[in-house]
Structure 1
Amino acid sequence: MSSPDISLVIRPRGRPIKNLPETITVSPDGSASQIFERIAQAAKFSKDRLRVTKGSDGTPIPNTGNVTVYQTGLRNRSAVDVKDLGPQIGWQTVFLIEYFGPIFIHPLVYYGRPFIYGTSAPPSELQKLTLIMVLLHFLKREFETLFVHRFSSATMPFQNVFKNSAHYWLLSGVWMAFWIYSPNSAAARASNPLITYAGLALYVFGELANLSSHYTLRNLRRPGTTDRGIPQGFGFNIVTCPNYMFEIISWIGILLVSWSHSTILFLIFACVPMGLWGKKKERRYRKEFGSKYKPKRFAILPGIY
């Protein structure tokens, strides 16, 4: 026998939301997502723009189907605060915009060498190879965004797209391309073929292993849900996030081919957030799966971090 419906008091926060209801009625046995649906339906407002928190302590209410209203701690006549997060943009769209930056900028600088550097000398074989490697990497990311990844959140605030894109458009785009395709770069001069072959081997291994990890993570989540299983398989018994580990291996391969300090800087800036995300994911796995999950000592790099 299901529990009787309860009434929640709605309190606005921040910018006003027209037609925001004063109260809503929900089932305590129903999913927490019904709170968002009831508010959005009454206010004729997009639920993706809503941030709902408990009035008692400010704890966020998850817009998910695997947590009930009762489990959030809400009871009859509990107050919830509702905030408008502003215009939203889909996570998939954000990823597509981010990765398009290097795809557009690297060929632009490569073929614009006469105008940028004032040189008529053709690019070296290493510069050409670096261009191909970078383009294939980000084209793979675009493919994964469209056909592999499943996103736990539908949207994010529109203004964040500029902040998120800066890393790729400026650092892996303008910064890397300018130094790699310069006539004075290390890649413009002769190199050790053995190092180049080693870089290519690491790159191919890293890219394929990274793709495999993403398919493993995709298969843990049922379509249309945020439910997850325990990740297992190649790399997952070594670190929490082998997809990040293989990503780093791939970029080390690009570094060995390009021999550019700009690649080192991009790799450092990429490792910091990946390490933080990996640690956060490890904590979430331990909390979510308990004794079923085998804790990992390292998040992204075995023996290092």
Structure 2
Amino acid sequence: MWINKSHNIGLIACPHVQGFPISGVGDRDELVLAAGHLKSPPVLKHSKITYFEVEILDVQSKKQICIVDKVPPSSTLLDVKHKFHKACPQWYPSRVGLQLERNGPYLKDSVNIQSLAVSSIITLYFTDLGQQVGWTTFFLTEYTGPLLIYLLFYIRLSTIYDEMESTKNFRHPVVHLACFCHCLHYIRHLLETLFVHKFSGGHTPLKNMIKGCAFYWGFTSWIAYYINHPRYTPPSFGHRQVSPAALAFLMCEAGNHFINVALAHQNHSGSKACFPSPTYNPFTWLFLLVSCPNYTYEVGSWISFAVMTQTLPVGIFAFLMVIQMSLWAQKKHKLYLKRFYPEVRRKAAMIPIIF
């Protein structure tokens, strides 16, 4: 028979069966513990999560702007920016620049906050980056302007050219060809911005977009004014100059497109990052010689356009594009050397063999 003597002792067993007297429940020598040693209840282990405090100081005055507390270790810098925005609504995340040191580089939004921690308190320096715009908006605005501006000059508005001269003078075929090539160039840029290039949600200051638009829109106005002018004179060698240049322009446009597609696929394929390899497409074979063939084709397009139209504004614009593209190519080439040294070390940056 089982008797519950005490909740501290547990269950006890009595050897007597029915028909035999029980001498007394209190007799210890007749009691046998049947349940064995009692097990202590399991202790619940609570996992401790270390939270960080992010102190944000003004980069100029070193004064504390705010403290973002209870930041989990898995948080990124973008999460900190969102919490900072809640405390200071006038600074939205894309406008906030955070640095680990006052003269250091701006930290990327994808940086894990734990990787910055030396202690539970992380000090970051804040800089107001000014009004920002998305990269998609930036490129769509920059490329839409030249497309529309050139067409306004092509139709020869009476407010731009003398109406009598416009009706009298015959348009040389190269004028129509130049309009087609110019529009094709910027339509390609617009379509690639929408469907080929992948932007990770980054931003750029509004002033950069204004400078870019001023450059492209201003040069387009100058170029279009001369080419579509009623007194425009065709190239010196006629069709022998125009036809090869137009063919070279179209080939460079096609090559630029296929290179951009290859780069987009390489960056977002989900596999291990590697430098793009040439495919069966002949336009991608330039990867064998240079690390930035998209810039090579871009420069080739404008040089071909300058030869085809034989105008000073296009020549100056092509020259400036060569300088700008070479600077961008050198910068990218250095990054490629760090990431893909064995594949890139024998390649030039933009122009085969030269640089």
Q: TM-score, normalized by length of structure 2?
A: 0.73
| Structure with larger Rg | 2
Which residue does the alignment assign to 1:174? 221
Please state whether the residue corresponding to 1:299 is helix, strand or coil: coil
Contact 2:169 2:231 in 1 (8 A): no
Q: Is residue 51 of structure 1 aligned with residue 97 of structure 2?
A: yes
Q: Structure 1: how far apart are the matches of 2:127 and 2:102? A: 15
Which residue does the alignment assign to 2:320? 269
Which residue does the alignment assign to 1:204? 250
Q: CA RMSD in A?
A: 3.0
Give the deviation of 1:264 after TM superposition.
1.1
Match of 1:149 among 187, 192, 197: 197
* C-alpha spacing 1:137/1:2, structure 2 compared with 1 (3 Å): farther
Q: Structure 2: how far apart are the matches of 1:3 and 1:242? A: 49
Q: Is residue 252 of structure 1 aligned with residue 306 of structure 2?
A: no
Q: Structure 2: how far apart are the matches of 1:57 and 1:114? A: 55
Give the deviation of 1:95 after TM superposition.
0.8
Which residue does the alignment assign to 2:354? 304
- Counting only pairs closer than 5 Å after superposition, residues 31-180 of structure 1 correspond to structure 2 as 31-44=76-89, 45-55=91-101, 57-64=103-110, 67-72=111-116, 75-112=119-156, 115-118=159-162, 119=165, 120-171=168-219, 173-180=220-227
Match of 2:57 among 5, 11, 20: 11
Contact 1:220 1:230 in 2 (8 A): yes
AA aligned to 2:218 is L
* C-alpha spacing 1:56/1:83, structure 2 compared with 1 (3 Å): closer
Q: Structure 1: how far apart are the matches of 2:342 and 2:236? A: 53
* C-alpha spacing 1:131/1:279, structure 2 compared with 1 (3 Å): same
Equivalent pairs counted in the alignment come to 295
Which residue does the alignment assign to 1:21? 66
Q: Structure 2: how far apart are the matches of 1:153 and 1:95? A: 13
* C-alpha spacing 1:280/1:70, structure 2 compared with 1 (3 Å): farther
- Counting only pairs closer than 5 Å after superposition, residues 228-243 of structure 1 correspond to structure 2 as 229-233=274-278, 234=284, 235-243=286-294
Deviations 1:108-159 (A, max 9, x none): 1122266534213132111111011101111111111111111245222223
AA aligned to 2:51 is D
Structure 2's unaligned 5+ residue stretches are 1-46, 279-283
Choose between structure 1 and 2 for higher RCO, CA contacts under 8 A separated by at least 6 residues. 1
Give the deviation of 1:29 after TM superposition.
5.6
Please state whether the residue corresponding to 1:123 is helix, strand or coil: coil
Deviations 1:235-265 (A, max 9, x none): 2221121011011122222122211121111
Contact 1:55 1:78 in 2 (8 A): no
Which residue does the alignment assign to 2:260? 214
Q: Structure 1: how far apart are the matches of 2:224 and 2:247? A: 22
Deviates more, 1:113-122 or 1:270-279: 113-122
Q: Structure 1: how far apart are the matches of 2:65 and 2:267? A: 33
| Bigger fraction of residues in helix | 1
Which residue does the alignment assign to 2:28? none
Same amino acid, percent of matched pairs: 24
Contact 2:291 2:349 in 1 (8 A): yes
Q: TM-score, normalized by length of structure 1?
A: 0.84
Deviations 1:13-42 (A, max 9, x none): 469xxx963234445565444433443354
